[in-house]
Chain A
């Protein structure tokens, strides 16, 4: 069962615009959420995280928003750069469990 879902397998945006990647989860026990970025032939690298006690966390061009009532989180990248082109995974953890979404491939066009 997929407790963490990224419903958009791919996303294409123009350089300089905003990229919004979405993630939904079903398990209300999850209380810590993370985004990872993965380039081809490399392992995922940690990008940004958010605890369930917050609804927003910002780190440079990256902002993660959490809507607990909707069990939804999103990653905003502003402005998007061609180097941001990668697969982005969201992950949710809690109660000694951790689940990943299937990933969204972001392509940023110059």
Chain B
């Protein structure tokens, strides 16, 4: 069974631009969560989607948004990029929602210049 895939793997943007990241969960998994990882902050929860509905949202500004499609694939969008948005963005999938064991993708490394 294929694992969680994320595209693109690496991305360079400039301040003020917007970016869309994509995540395909493990087949059969209906929950997708997004995390931001930075060296100083560790993994920080962005949001969780289950059955196309956002179930939970972390403490991030409204510039960070996401959605989930009927096939459980998910996208995350960041608008008006700031230098501090440079990070590794991880997607994780699980069968059900709410803190169950999650399987992480390799991440998308975003660099904002």
A-side residues, CB < 8 A to B, are 6, 32, 34, 36, 41-46, 49, 89, 91, 93-94, 96-103
Contacts and interface: CB of A to CB of B under 8 A. Distances in A.
A52 B46 CA distance: 25
B3 to A, nearest CB: 9
Contacts of A91: 43
Q: Is the interface of A mostly helix, strand, loop or mixed?
A: strand
B106 A99 contact: no
Contact of A98 (B40, B45, B103, B104): B45
Which bucket holds chain B's interface residue count?
Answer: 20 to 34
B56 A43 contact: no
13 contacts: A43-B4, A43-B104, A43-B106, A89-B42, A93-B98, A96-B56, A97-B45, A98-B33, A100-B35, A100-B44, A100-B45, A102-B43, A103-B43
B55 interface: yes
B42 A102 contact: yes
Nearest to A87: B42
What 5 A-B pairs have minimum CB-CB distances, sorted nearest first? A93-B99, A102-B42, A43-B104, A100-B43, A98-B99
Contacts of A93: 98-99
B71 interface: no
A102 B44 CA distance: 9
A82 B92 CA distance: 27
A46 to B, nearest CB: 5
A44 B99 contact: no
A36 to B, nearest CB: 7
A94 B33 CA distance: 15
A102 B106 contact: no
B25 interface: no
A42 B3 CA distance: 12
